[in-house]
Structures are given as structure tokens and as C-alpha cells.
């Protein structure tokens, strides 16, 4: 009985203390303030630990991130906006690039634009920089950019290009860099699962990566929404295909990787079946394009001194210390690898009936013929380790290609054919 009374007294005292601690703080504009920027404003404020504050903004914000000294930690730091509560964590991607040298929080995307929030400072003490973002509205009908995913549909899935979803926001300043993809890395955005405007989510992530982290462009190559919509990430700027653009998403070791981000937080709940279907279709298409096997692992320079084996289809946490892509997504990876493999095989069967390869085995040369006057866009011969030996690229206007094989050592090779409709076909080729 005495213990119960003590507990009541303690709770009563704590409520009283919390009420005392709740106060309004003023936001001081950080210098210099760019008045032309309606999408990004930076403020500074000073906080005490374990204190509740109300922050009011002069204009609407659609998302927010905090930055503070690298020596601080984020424990029990909360943002309350409307009915939503957000627990802030450190964004490891931001530290990977070291552009700011600061601790940056994960992005908080509000369900609706807000002009004030409650802020529980938790472990934070001293100066905190508040980045307010306003991604505006794109008013995009994303349904128009989806098509039903059929097992026989082996072309690149429908996607929304950056110049469509980025409307009204500043373009990346620098041109993209190319990367030959050997690994696909799965992420989650660690943003609220209550966000239902997925275009807005992508626009906010774009602002966060470019404005707060100081990157040239959004970090990922693709972003997949819970309804199966696929947004293109890094912009190829008409110079590169977007799946070949070097991104910023994998432990500062991005070369050779393509990053796909599942929109939401998938720590305890898995992505929707529509999102997973879109992930499998996109991954199958890219792996067929690059002649990758989703069940394999391959060397990746994860540390500076040596290369390490990494699954061809991997999660962000396989590369460095992060929760990403969420435990629930990560647990699905073995199953997803098998689904990708079977979708790739299902795509090969109808193509196998249309393509003739002769003579087999080959000695000095090999001919590839495609039926129904389809166009052959490119042909490549890889050895079994994945090394490229022969390549005939560019537009070939005929449906027949001759490849010289007399320079190849005797052995087994992989013939890789790209057709005019951007489907890809692989076949074993024995050279004598
Ligand atoms: Zn990640």
C-alpha cells in the first residue's frame, strides 16, 4: 500500500515537473538567411536536456531535421506534430559523407504541413540547428505511372522520372557520375508510415539530401512507395540511364552499387506486397540487364584496404552499422532473392524461343538471330567470373549479329543480348 502511494506521488511530481519544463523558445535565424529560399530555412535555438518546448514557425513546414555537434547523442528526442509522434535518431548516411561534420537527425516528414511543433529535447543540450523544409505540392497522379506487374512483363517497370516529381524544386548542381552496378542495396527511408502523399515524401527526401546533407542530388537510385509506384532517384540528366548513376547511400562505398529505398519505416512491419512486387520487378530487370545472379555474392570494397564478399542483393546494414533497411525488410531478403531469380528465369523462356544462336559450340564466330524482326541493340560476352570480353554496342539495325570469338580461350561463357524493347536475354556459350 505504501509503495502504491509512493508511486502515485512520484507520477504526480513528474507531471508537475513536465508542466513546469514546457516552455516556448524563440527560433533565431541562422546567418546568413537566404530570403529567396522558400523551401529551406535554418534556425538556431538553445535547449536544456529533458525539456519540452513549443517551436512556432513563420511559414509552413512539410518536414524537419535537426543538426547538432558531433559529440552529442540523440536519446529520447521527440517531435510531436498534430497526432504524430516522431522519435529522432541519427542519420548515418549524413555522417558517411562528412560534408557537415555534424550529427544530423533522421528526417521527420509531417502528415500535413505544420507551423508549430512540440519538441522534447531528451539528451540534447546547448545549440541545436533546426532545418525546416517545405517541399510544396506536386499534385501528381501517380496511378498514371504504374502498370500491372505481370510475370511475363520483363521490361523495365514503369517509373516516374525526377524532372516530373521534382517540379518547382531546384535541380542538382552537378552532372551525374556513372557506376557499373554489381550490387543492389535495399534501404528504408525511416520516415513515418502515416505519410500517404508519396510524391511529397520523395520531394522532402530530395530537399533533405541536397539542402541539409549538402549532397548534389537525392542519394538513392530508386524509391518505392507502399502502393507500388517507383520513383527514379538520382537524375541521369539525359547523359546517363538513371540505374547507372553513382548514388550516395551505402556506407560511403557507393561505387558499383544501385540503391533502392522503400518509403517508410520497416523495423517491425514489412513493406506492403505491392511495394515488394515493385522491388522484385525492378531488381529482376536490372540484374538481367547487368548479367547478375541474385543468389550470388561478389567482392565489394567495403573497407579501404581490401574487398569483402557482399551479397549481390544486400541490405544497407550489410555494409556498416545501421538499422536500415529495417529488421522486417532485412528478414525478407533471402525470400526476395529467390523471387528475383524465378522472375528472371520466367522472363527468359519466351525469349529463348525467339533467339537462335549458332554454331554451338562456337569456335571462330557466333551468330545471333532474333525472330519477328526485333532489333538487337547490344551483345556482350562475359566469362563465368563476370568479366566482359566482347561487346558490340550501339544501335544495330538488323536482327542478326555476328560476334568474333576466335580470341577467346576455350571454355564456358555467358552471352548477353539486349533487345530493342530493353529486355535482356542470357545464354551459356561454349567456345572451343
Ligand atoms: Zn539505408
Contact between residue 431 and residue 404 where contact means Cβ atoms under 8 Å apart? no
pLDDT digits (tens, 9 = 90+) for 336-379: 999 999 999 988 888 888 889 999 899 888 999 888 778 888 89
Across residues 282-299, what is the average pLDDT?
A: 93
Per the omega criterion (within 30 degrees of 0), is the bond before 243 cis? Answer: no
Residue 139 binned pLDDT confidence (cut-offs 50, 70, 90): confident
Give the pLDDT confidence score for residue 19 in this predicted structure: 45
Give the pLDDT confidence score for residue 308 in this predicted structure: 84
Distance, CA 213 to ligand 1 centroid (Å)?
14
Residue 210 binned pLDDT confidence (cut-offs 50, 70, 90): very high
Distance, CA 58 to ligand 1 centroid (Å)?
32
Residue 56 binned pLDDT confidence (cut-offs 50, 70, 90): confident
Q: What is the dotted CATH code of the domain comprising 353-431?
A: 2.60.40.1220
Give the pLDDT confidence score for residue 164 in this predicted structure: 94
Residue 17 binned pLDDT confidence (cut-offs 50, 70, 90): very low
Per the omega criterion (within 30 degrees of 0), is the bond before 202 cis? Answer: no
- Best-predicted range by mean pLDDT (31-35, 228-232, 412-416): 228-232
User: Which residue from 68, 62, 110, 57 is spatially nearest to 91, judged by alpha carbons?
Assistant: 68
User: Which residue from 277, 151, 267 is spatially nearest to 225, judged by alpha carbons?
Assistant: 277
Give the pLDDT confidence score for residue 8 in this predicted structure: 55
Per the omega criterion (within 30 degrees of 0), is the bond before 59 cis? Answer: no
**Which carries the bigger pLDDT value, residue 301 or residue 290?**
290
Residue 25 binned pLDDT confidence (cut-offs 50, 70, 90): low
- The answer, yes or no, to whether residue 32 has pLDDT greater than 90, is no
Contact between residue 69 and residue 126 where contact means Cβ atoms under 8 Å apart? yes
Write down the domain spans for the chain: 23-133, 142-349, 353-431
- The answer, yes or no, to whether residue 150 has pLDDT greater than 80, is no
Burial of 392 (0-12, 13-18, 19+ CB in 10 A): middle
Across residues 293-321, what is the average pLDDT?
A: 86
Distance, CA 155 to ligand 1 centroid (Å)?
26
Output the average pLDDT for the chain: 86
User: Which residue from 277, 271, 78, 246 is spatially nearest to 172, judged by alpha carbons?
Assistant: 246
Distance, CA 220 to ligand 1 centroid (Å)?
9
Residue 6 binned pLDDT confidence (cut-offs 50, 70, 90): low
Q: What is the dotted CATH code of the domain comprising 142-349?
A: 3.40.80.10
Give the pLDDT confidence score for residue 21 in this predicted structure: 47
Q: Which of 96-110, 345-359, 404-418 has the lowest mean pLDDT?
A: 96-110
Distance, CA 420 to ligand 1 centroid (Å)?
34
Give the pLDDT confidence score for residue 49 in this predicted structure: 94
pLDDT digits (tens, 9 = 90+) for 394-403: 666 678 888 8
Distance, CA 398 to ligand 1 centroid (Å)?
43
- The answer, yes or no, to whether residue 265 has pLDDT greater than 90, is yes
Across residues 62-85, what is the average pLDDT?
A: 93
The grid coordinates listed for 275 are 511495394
Distance, CA 222 to ligand 1 centroid (Å)?
12
Distance, CA 249 to ligand 1 centroid (Å)?
6
Contact between residue 415 and residue 429 where contact means Cβ atoms under 8 Å apart? yes
- The answer, yes or no, to whether residue 129 has pLDDT greater than 70, is yes
Distance, CA 271 to ligand 1 centroid (Å)?
15
Question: What residues contact residue 1 under an 8 Å CB cut-off, 6+ apart?
Answer: none
Residue 387 binned pLDDT confidence (cut-offs 50, 70, 90): confident
Q: Give strand pairing partners of 243.
A: none
- The answer, yes or no, to whether residue 151 has pLDDT greater than 60, is no
- Best-predicted range by mean pLDDT (151-155, 212-216, 273-277, 412-416): 273-277
List for the chain the helix, strand, coil content (%; round to 5). Answer: 20, 35, 45
Distance, CA 83 to ligand 1 centroid (Å)?
27
CATH architecture type of domain 23-133: Sandwich (2.60)
Give the pLDDT confidence score for residue 134 in this predicted structure: 94
Contact between residue 57 and residue 73 where contact means Cβ atoms under 8 Å apart? no
Residue 13 binned pLDDT confidence (cut-offs 50, 70, 90): very low
Distance, CA 136 to ligand 1 centroid (Å)?
25
- Give the whole-angstrom CA distance, residue 403 versus residue 364: 9
β-pairing, 183-188 vs 313-315, is parallel
Burial of 150 (0-12, 13-18, 19+ CB in 10 A): exposed
- Compute CA 117 distance to the chain's CA centroid, rounded to the nearest angstrom: 28
Amino acid at each position: 500500500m505504501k509503495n502504491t502511494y509512493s508511486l502515485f506521488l512520484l507520477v504526480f511530481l513528474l507531471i508537475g515537473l513536465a508542466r513546469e519544463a514546457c516552455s516556448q523558445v524563440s527560433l533565431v535565424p541562422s546567418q546568413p538567411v537566404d530570403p529567396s529560399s522558400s523551401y529551406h530555412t535554418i534556425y538556431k535555438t538553445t535547449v536544456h536536456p529533458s525539456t519540452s518546448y513549443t517551436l512556432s514557425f513563420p511559414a509552413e513546414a512539410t518536414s524537419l531535421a535537426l543538426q547538432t555537434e558531433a559529440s552529442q547523442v540523440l536519446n529520447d528526442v521527440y517531435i510531436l506534430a498534430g497526432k504524430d509522434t516522431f522519435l529522432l535518431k541519427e542519420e548515418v548516411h549524413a555522417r558517411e559523407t562528412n560534408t557537415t561534420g555534424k550529427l544530423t537527425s533522421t528526417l521527420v516528414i509531417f502528415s500535413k504541413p505544420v507551423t508549430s511543433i512540440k519538441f522534447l529535447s531528451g539528451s540534447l543540450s546547448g545549440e541545436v540547428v533546426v532545418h525546416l523544409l517545405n517541399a510544396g505540392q506536386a499534385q501528381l497522379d501517380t496511378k498514371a505511372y504504374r502498370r500491372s506487374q505481370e510475370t511475363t512483363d520483363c521490361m523495365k517497370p514503369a517509373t516516374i522520372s525526377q524532372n516530373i516529381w521534382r517540379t518547382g524544386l531546384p535541380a542538382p548542381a552537378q552532372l551525374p557520375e556513372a557506376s557499373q552496378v554489381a550490387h543492389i542495396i535495399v534501404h528504408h527511408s525511416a520516415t513515418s508510415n502515416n505519410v500517404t502523399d508519396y510524391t511529397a515524401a520523395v520531394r522532402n527526401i530530395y530537399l533533405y539530401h541536397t539542402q541539409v546533407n549538402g549532397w548534389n542530388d537525392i542519394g538513392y537510385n530508386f524509391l518505392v512507395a507502399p502502393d507500388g509506384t517507383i520513383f527514379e532517384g538520382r537524375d541521369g540528366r539525359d547523359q546517363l540511364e538513371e540505374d547507372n548513376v553513382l548514388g550516395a547511400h551505402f556506407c560511403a562505398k557507393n561505387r558499383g552499387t544501385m540503391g533502392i529505398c522503400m518509403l517508410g519505416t520497416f523495423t517491425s512491419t514489412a513493406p506492403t506486397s505491392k511495394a515488394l512486387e515493385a522491388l522484385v520487378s525492378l531488381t529482376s530487370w536490372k540484374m538481367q540487364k547487368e548479367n547478375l545472379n541474385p543468389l550470388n555474392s561478389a567482392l565489394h570494397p567495403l573497407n579501404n584496404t581490401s574487398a569483402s564478399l557482399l551479397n549481390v542483393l544486400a541490405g544497407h546494414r550489410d555494409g556498416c552499422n545501421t538499422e536500415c533497411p529495417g529488421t522486417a525488410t532485412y528478414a525478407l531478403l533471402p525470400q526476395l532473392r529467390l523471387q528475383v531469380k524465378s522472375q528472371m528465369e520466367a522472363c527468359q523462356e519466351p525469349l529463348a524461343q525467339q533467339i537462335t544462336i549458332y554454331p554451338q559450340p562456337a569456335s571462330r564466330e557466333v551468330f545471333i538471330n532474333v525472330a519477328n524482326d526485333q532489333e538487337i541493340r547490344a551483345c556482350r560476352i562475359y566469362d563465368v567470373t563476370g568479366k566482359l570480353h566482347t561487346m558490340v554496342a550501339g544501335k544495330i539495325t538488323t536482327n542478326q549479329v555476328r560476334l568474333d570469338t576466335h580470341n577467346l580461350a576455350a571454355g564456358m561463357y555467358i552471352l548477353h543480348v539486349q533487345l530493342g524493347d530493353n529486355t535482356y536475354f542470357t545464354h551459356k556459350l561454349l567456345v572451343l
